[in-house]
Amino acid sequence: MGQGVWAWLVEGHYLWLAGPAVLAGLVRGFSGFGAAMIFVPLAGMLEAPTVAVPLLFLVDSLATLHITLGAFRRCTWAEVLPLLLGATLTVPLGVALLVSADPLIMRWAISLTILAAVLALAAGWRLRRRLPFLGTAAVGAVAGVTGGAASLSGPPLVLFWLGGQSDAAQVRANIYAIFGLLGLVTGLTLWLNGLLTLAVLRQALILLPAYVLAILAGARLFPHASEGFYRKVALGLCGLAALGALPLWEELT
């Protein structure tokens, strides 16, 4: 396993990260999004974003592969493809910010982005009509930047789909489909920037069992939830995670 991973376990890093990983897996399995909203800010209290982001990428990609393949048969390709195009063009810009930006600034940006998305959805914001191709691609471009910088592709995409006419099942399928496709781009970009290291892979394999079990539990809960419950649980958990991860609390202690 190596001395680095052993020290990671002994020093309590695993226990600190396993809690957010389980919560993130439950939300991801249930709603199709939200894992990065929970894991990256909380893990960022212990690990640098350059570790937390690729760590979640590896764990999530392995744990959700079976759900993603099924989502490809149910997603709305007329929306997924322009979103994918826009995001693909801007993921490298987001990763460049991840590598060069100050970690404290990144945490502020991550938390405030999540809170803005939660507040907009909770306020009942809706699209009145379907966006044209270029408008949809622009939403994807925003998601590419936030995804590459902080593994936060979710907020722009969730705003787009929950702000439209899709029901919870369709939103969930669309999210899994586009995340699966964006994962190929994000993974390649992280690798080219030297962030997918052997040490991160070892950590991901240790966290994987707990994350997989949480994903399966969340997926089993989804069919029993109403539309209202789906929205309230996902938004509530994401909002609490964002508030808890604000650097403001450290400044007050």
Q: At residue 68, does pLDDT exceed 90?
A: yes
Place of tokens 């990065």: 36
- Better pLDDT: 4 or 92: 92
Q: What is the 3-state secondary structure (H, E, C) of the chain?
A: CCHHHHHHHHCCHHHHHHHHHHHHHHHHHHHCCCHHHHHHHHHCCCCCHHHHHHHHHHHHHHHCHHHHHHHCCCCCHHHHHHHHHHHHHHHHHHHHHHHHCCHHHHHHHHHHHHHHHHHHHHCCCCCCCCCCHHHHHHHHHHHHHHHHHHCCCHHHHHHHHHCCCCCHHHHHHHHHHHHHHHHHHHHHHHHHCCCCCHHHHHHHHHHHHHHHHHHHHHHHHHHHCCHHHHHHHHHHHHHHHHHHCCCHHHHHC
- Better pLDDT: 171 or 58: 58
Mean pLDDT lowest among 11-15, 31-35, 48-52, 66-70: 11-15
Q: Could you tell me the residue range of the domain that residue 53 belongs to?
A: 3-252
Q: What is the CA radius of gyration of the chain?
A: 17
Q: At residue 10, does pLDDT exceed 50?
A: no
Q: Are 233 and 30 in contact (CB under 8 A)?
A: yes
What is the pLDDT, as a whole number, of residue 4?
54
Q: What is the pTM of this model?
A: 0.77
How far apart CA 7 and CA 10 sit, in angstroms, is: 5
Residue 24, C-beta contacts closer than 8 angstroms, at least 6 positions apart: 34, 35, 36, 37, 38, 39, 56, 211, 214
User: 2 — alpha (psi -120 to 50), left (phi > 0) or beta?
Assistant: left
Which whole number is the average pLDDT over 102-130? 76
Interval 165-221: pLDDT, tens? 788 899 899 989 998 998 888 888 889 989 999 989 988 998 999 999 999 999 999
- Better pLDDT: 226 or 165: 226
The number of distinct structural domains making up the chain is 1
Residue 175, C-beta contacts closer than 8 angstroms, at least 6 positions apart: 31, 32, 33, 71, 154, 157, 158, 161
> C-alpha angle with apex 169: 88 to 111, nearest 5 degrees?
55
| Candidate ranges 101-105, 159-163, 172-176; pick with highest mean pLDDT | 172-176
- Better pLDDT: 206 or 246: 206
